[in-house]
Amino acid sequence: MSILNRLHDVFAENCQWTCRFFSIHGSTVHVMFLNNVADDELLSEGILRPLQKLDVHAVEQLTPDLLLGQLPLKKGELSHDLDQICHKLMLGWSYVWIQDCSEGLLMCTAAHHERTLSKAEIESDEYGPQVAFVEELSTNLALLYKLLPDSKLCVSSLEMGNVSKTVVNIVYLKEYANEDQVALLRSRISSLQHINGMLDSLKLAQLLDDNVATLFPTMLHTERPDRVCQGLLANKIALFVDGSPFAVLCPVTIYEFFHAGSDMYQRWIVGVLLRLLRMSAIIASVFVTSIYVAAITFHYQVIPPELLKTLIESHSKVPFPPILEALMLEVMIELLRESSIRMPSKVGQTMGVVGGIVIGQAAVEAGFVSNILLMIVALGTLSSFVVSNFAMGNSLQIIRFPLIVLAGTWGGIGIVVGASFIIIHLARQTSLGVPYLQPMNMLDSKTDEHSVLRMIWKLMKREKSSYRIRKPKEDFAE
């Protein structure tokens, strides 16, 4: 059975399948491609037109080798492997086969459906390079090469997904990144044989996590090339997945999720103050509602006398215990958040703001919640948005709920118990073997100066960052 017939069988149920043939010098040349997947212009300029114009009298016998020299395309190879041919055809390549030859030509005519580069939408910032990654891997790498044009930049390519056959790139700076970590990452990726589709880098990040049971992300995803370069210079490894506009950085500590690119580009005083503001906002967003619930349910003693009267008045109209009231309002805010993400952007803004105010105000007037609680929950939610990384933002939103329940049942002791649980849990986490809370748990001269606050650029003798590595877990099981 010839290659032609076998390919016809494979693509029998694909309506894009196209096969054209030319009679040249007595032999028939078949050109096979998937319509629309292959680029029309490349196909006609690179294969069809040269075939038509081929000077048939100059050669005695038409061979694939000869044909390869005649077709003006960037990439082309000889192939007779059916699997490879099928795969390449699916990627938009064309197969040129001369009747009765054992081999045919695979020519790259893939169409690039890519959007133009645009500004970072999710991690938008006022300073620094504004461009964001796109879905095309080669473009993303080009952006990276532009910022770090150094031969130390290593890009090793792997293929993942039994069906999707996605290209995954591991990018790191040689002599900067830890070799063990690179090897560990490689072995973890190669152990993922059961994955059929690798559609986004966030999925990959989850598959490569040290601990699946944790609520907190241990790999950082970003859409900003400058952030990736900063990470690479700080000994990190970046992962790119073709088709995903997010790069994944690892290993990371928890503080890096709270960083914004502009911290580093602004004057150091501003940078340090912004980081302090962000840290306190994060602590506030996690604890403020539960502290309110604890104070109003158990610890009336701690309320300042000036506030006491207002608090009694605002809560006396509410028929629910404070814990229920707080949970209700928090769920309402979560609903608003969630729905405003899914809403079309034209409606979303209005709904988010007006809906929040209207629902909140109406709930207070109806005596459903107290206005002080509304203000406190709004404060907490507002604070949680200072985290530019939404994976971490979501985690922080979620841990508020158990804390509220603890505060409503055990009061202040409950908050302390909950906070201790969170801190112990965080202290146990690792990201590629690097302790998640570093440098809080081991402060020494080797730690990253920028991790919690930031260092003054001029005071740094050299830019360095190194992690102490806890022994990584050898075998990785999901």
Shortest Å distance, C-beta 189 to other proteins: 30
Q: Which stretch binds other proteins (CB under 8 A): 45-53, 69-77, 268-276, 312-320?
A: 312-320
Shortest Å distance, C-beta 146 to other proteins: 46
Considering beta carbons, is residue 229 or 407 the nearer one to other proteins? Answer: 407
Among positions 97, 255, 258, 298, the unique one binding other proteins when judged by CB under 8 A:
298
Q: Is the dihedral of CA 327, 333, 337, 342 positive or negative?
A: positive
Among positions 141, 211, 411, 465, the unique one binding other proteins when judged by CB under 8 A:
411
Q: Are 148 and 173 in contact (CB under 8 A)?
A: yes
* First and final C-alpha spacing in the chain: 44
Element (H, E) at 158: strand 153-160
Element (H, E) at 105: strand 104-107
Considering beta carbons, is residue 280 or 310 the nearer one to other proteins? Answer: 310
Among positions 89, 208, 296, 415, the unique one binding other proteins when judged by CB under 8 A:
296
Q: One symbol per residue from 27 to 66: x for binding other proteins (CB under 8 A), - otherwise; what is it? A: ----------------------------------------
Considering beta carbons, is residue 313 or 463 the nearer one to other proteins? Answer: 313
Question: What would the 3-class secondary structure string for 378-419 be?
Answer: HHHHHHHCCCCCHHHHHHHHHHHHHHHHHHHHHCHHHHHHHH
Q: Measure the CA–CA gap between 105 and 33, rounded to whole angstroms.
A: 12
Q: Which stretch binds other proteins (CB under 8 A): 47-55, 93-101, 181-189, 313-321?
A: 313-321
Q: Which stretch binds other proteins (CB under 8 A): 6-14, 156-164, 173-181, 292-300?
A: 292-300
User: Which residue type, as a one-letter code, is found at position 466?
Assistant: S
Element (H, E) at 375: helix 371-384
Contacts with other proteins by CB under 8 A: the residue count is 26
Shortest Å distance, C-beta 297 to other proteins: 5
Binding to other proteins by residue 305, rule CB under 8 A? yes
Among positions 316, 462, 474, 475, the unique one binding other proteins when judged by CB under 8 A:
316
Among positions 142, 276, 277, 308, the unique one binding other proteins when judged by CB under 8 A:
308
Binding to other proteins by residue 313, rule CB under 8 A? yes
Q: Is the dihedral of CA 384, 388, 392, 398 positive or negative?
A: positive
User: Which residue type, as a one-letter code, is found at position 323?
Assistant: I
Q: Measure the CA–CA gap between 19 and 32, rounded to whole angstroms.
A: 4
Q: Measure the CA–CA gap between 80 and 253, rounded to whole angstroms.
A: 49
Binding to other proteins by residue 277, rule CB under 8 A? no
Binding to other proteins by residue 328, rule CB under 8 A? no
Shortest Å distance, C-beta 427 to other proteins: 15
Considering beta carbons, is residue 154 or 405 the nearer one to other proteins? Answer: 405
Among positions 118, 277, 283, 321, the unique one binding other proteins when judged by CB under 8 A:
321
Greatest extent of the chain over all pairs of C-alpha atoms, in Å: 104
Q: Which of 216, 210, 226 is nearest to 261 (CA)?
A: 226
Q: One symbol per residue from 391 to 410: x for binding other proteins (CB under 8 A), - otherwise; what is it? A: --------------xx-xxx
* Burial of 320 (C-beta count, 10 Å sphere; 0-12/13-18/19+): middle
Binding to other proteins by residue 424, rule CB under 8 A? no
Question: Per the structure block, which two tokens stand in for 113?
Answer: 């459906």
Among positions 5, 151, 301, 445, the unique one binding other proteins when judged by CB under 8 A:
301
What are the angstrom distances between the C-alpha of 20 and each of 98, 272, 338?
Answer: 12, 66, 51
Here the contacts of 133-139 (C-beta below 8 Å, separation 24 or greater) are: 133/223, 133/224, 133/225, 133/245, 133/246, 133/247, 134/245, 135/243, 135/244, 135/245, 136/112, 136/242, 136/243, 137/167, 137/169, 137/240, 137/241, 137/242, 137/243, 139/114
Binding to other proteins by residue 428, rule CB under 8 A? no
Considering beta carbons, is residue 81 or 313 the nearer one to other proteins? Answer: 313
Which residues contact other proteins (rule: CB under 8 A)? 296-298, 300-301, 303, 305, 308-309, 311-313, 315-316, 318, 321-322, 405-406, 408-411, 413, 417, 421
